Structure 1
Amino acid sequence: MGSGRERTDVVIVGGGPAGLSAALSLGRARRRVVVVDAGKPRNMTAAHMHGVLGHDGLSPLRLLELGREEVAGYGVRLVHGEVTGVRTDGAAIEVETADGAIRTRRLLVATGLDDVLPNIPGLGEQWGRGVVVCPYCDGWEHRNEVVGVVATSPRSIEQAQLLRQWSDRVIYFANAFSEPPADEMEALVRRDIRFEPGSVTGIRVEDDRVTGVEVDGRVVSVGVVFTGPTPRPRDALLRSLGAATTGPLGTWVDIDEDGRTSIPGVWAVGNVVNARSNVPLSMGLGSLVAGALNADLLADDIARTLATTGP
């Protein structure tokens, strides 16, 4: 492995809430940190965040802008771009970017995930605005509206039942799924959740606002659509290194409680390893992993000192 043009303690791939939170803690710990980020956060289409203490209603892009300013103040170097390759020889890790190679002691992957949306005309164009996923993030903003839930799995019924807390006008669109079991159907009826059978063929939009759901040639009026995309982790880098996976068919890269992967010196945090990591959870986990990472580096510092100085 070549020497690279830069040596550092930690390279963080991904500058979202998890990656920047980790960078903040590590920078304050006086570690040499580089953050490489392509500028494509999962929530980039959303105008506002909600449920983030102290930042409720703030633009998610503004949060990241503030975060970059903060970490830079502690000497963290920010690189805009993508990692093109990673190599490890057991002693160090070399990260390739368009700016050159960075030789690092530890690697933290915080690359997030992509939401794979149902192939329904009009749905993708409204993603993050008139089409959303999280009741806790967007339920309050659509309280008392006509709320449509477009099913993507049998578990979408749970989403409809949850949204009943925000509105008494919830419509469950079965889409490609048949009528639910009798007990679940009774629960929908008893809680006044309207059941609409048939396949959803489109999302009706007027003046850039969702106004209806098209079902088998008819239009049902709604004010917002909630649905359940399929999470696809951006974990190609981790898999290229041979990281162990877990879950159905090895869906997710496996980590321990501190964020360690099966690859020595390689850690991961946030949506790339946990689909449930919303913004506040990602920030908290970033801080937690940073503490564990720094402790790991400290143990290495001590071992190196003892090896070179002797008794």
Structure 2
Amino acid sequence: MEDRGGRGDGGVRGDGGVRGGRDECRREGAGGAGSVDVVVVGGGAAGLNAALVLARARRRVLVVDGGRPRNAPARQVHGFVSRDGMPPAELVAVGRREVEHYGGRVVADEVRVVRRADHVPLGPDAAAGGFEAELTGSVVRARRVIAATGLRDALPDLPGLRERWARDVLHCPYCHGWEVRDQRLGVLGWRPEAVHQALLVRRLSDDVVFFAQDGRDLDAPGRAKLAASGVRIVHGEVSGLVVEDDRLRGVRMADGTVVGRSALFVPPEFVPNDALLTGLGCRRDDNGLVRVDANGRTSVPGVWAVGNVVDPRAFVVAAAAAGAKAAVAVNADLVEADLAEDGLHVVEGAR
């Protein structure tokens, strides 16, 4: 979920469920009202689910969300058991209420930068230090950071494409396919994965057209697969869309012909919103994504990353699950750090 813009809210709630003697004093000593155990950057499914688990573990957690979710144009969320058909905005609103119910805090703001701050206690790794997150007009100190900043969808430069995005120009057969089943469907062949997407779309309708865009990403095996599946190939450049009465009616070719279609699938280029992680020095994998372990831990001590920022193809439900896994790992890490500060160590395997 893209995290840019939003209204400034400089306060940090300091009563996120941490109570009792030494623990409360320790956290107040780490910076008072401007200090939290965990700052979560991004308030989509991944970030909110991480915050929910942490808040229920009585951690002081702050979610900072810019309010521009990737799936905002979509009418509904699908493939999420018990939440199937829920509008994205409602899913976020419910998630925020749940986090706040357990003492977590959600603010509409922008995290401009996260930097290491040695004066914020992190734990036994002295090289790591804690962190400072710079918001609009305020700074939040945190012992751990979870980045759930999502990604943005880069689309080809075709007139009208962005305006119809998530309406009748679609990116995911699993997310939107059922709603356009048995209609006249198209797939724009502007990326190598478009052939695979066309094969998936063919499950939805007997009338599927693959727009080959002069065959730039269509090789012989791809043509054979499409032909064997009954997908019609249309050659030539696509120049735009035909929209009437606020509905897609067809795809216009460069030669002026119009191929009637009711929906067009366009596999986007995924561009992770990972500048925050880059600034912290997180290492990347062979695919160019920020490298994380099974629980979302990055190469930088104290920093986790979850959801589409590190797993571009994750559904909403998978992003939420990744947030929960990271939260459990972060809480365990903080427990061990607290013991280490007292000169104790968790016995390996006892967690």
Same fold (TM > 0.5): yes
Once the two structures are superposed, residues 240-290 of structure 1 have per-residue CA deviations (whole angstroms, 9 ceiling, x without a partner) of 111111234xx2111111111111111110011110111010011111111
What are the Cα deviations for residues 53-72 of structure 1, in whole angstroms up to 9, with x where unaligned? 11111101110000001100
- The whole-number CA distance in structure 2 between the counterparts of 1:238 and 1:269 is 11
Do structure 1's residue 139 and structure 2's residue 167 form an aligned pair? no
- The CA distance in 2 between the partners of 1:176 and 1:233, in whole Å, is 29
Relative to structure 1, the CA distance from residue 178 to residue 86 in structure 2 (aligned partners, 3 Å threshold; closer, same or farther) is closer
Q: Which structure 2 residue ranges, 5 or more long, are not aligned?
A: 1-29, 119-127, 345-351
Query: For 1:56 and 1:202, how far apart are their aligned partners in 2?
Result: 32
Aligned to 2:343, the other structure's residue is in SS state helix
Q: Tell me how far 1:178 sits from its aligned partner.
A: 4.2
Q: Secondary structure at the match of 2:186?
A: strand
Q: Percent identity?
A: 46
Are 2:320 and 1:292 equivalent residues in the alignment?
Answer: no
Opposite residue 232 of structure 1, the aligned amino acid is V
Q: Which residue, out of 99, 103, 120, partners 2:158?
A: 120
Take 1:292 and 1:176, find their aligned partners in 2: how far apart are those partners?
A: 49
The count of residues paired between Structure 1 and Structure 2 equals 304
Dislocated runs of 4+, deviation >6 Å? none
1:58 — aligned with what?
A: 86
RMSD (CA atoms): 1.6
Q: CA deviation at 1:305?
A: 2.3
SS in 2 for 1:114: strand
- Tell me by how many angstroms 1:192 deviates: 1.8
One-letter identity of the residue aligned with 2:295? D
Maintained 8 Å contact 2:61/2:104: yes
Please give the secondary structure, in 1, of the residue aligned with 2:35.
Answer: strand
- Looking at structure 2, the residues matched to 200 and 145 of structure 1 have their Cα atoms a distance apart, in angstroms, of 20
Task: Please say if 1:280 is aligned against 2:317.
Answer: yes
State which drifts further: 9-18 or 256-265.
256-265
1:189 to 220, 223, 227: 227
- 1:173–1:197 contact (8 Å) kept in structure 2: yes
Conserved 8 A contact 1:49-1:59? yes
8 A contact 1:4–1:101 mirrored in 2: no
**Cα drift, residue 99 of structure 1:** 4.6
Amino acid at match of 2:80: V
In structure 2, what is the equivalent of residue 169 of structure 1? 207
Q: Confirm or deny: 8 A CA contact 1:149 1:227 kept in the other structure.
A: yes
What TM-score results when the alignment is normalised by the length of structure 2? 0.83
Instruction: Tell me if structure 2 keeps the 8 A contact 1:5–1:103.
Output: no
The residue number in structure 2 matching 1:44 is 72
CA distance in 2, matches of 1:35, 1:205: 40
Give the number of the structure whose residues are more often strand, by fraction: 1
Q: Return closer, same or farther for 1:181/1:101 CA change in 2, 3 Å cut-off.
A: closer
Task: Give the 3 Å change call, closer, same or farther, for CA 27–5 of structure 1 in structure 2.
Answer: closer
1:236 match: 275
Of residues 192, 198, 205, the one that matches 2:243 is: 205
The structural deviation recorded for 1:153 is 1.6
The 5 Å alignment of 1:16-35 reads 16-35=44-63
Q: Which runs of 5+ in 1 are unaligned?
A: none
Asked if the contact 2:285/2:291 (under 8 Å) is kept, the reply is yes
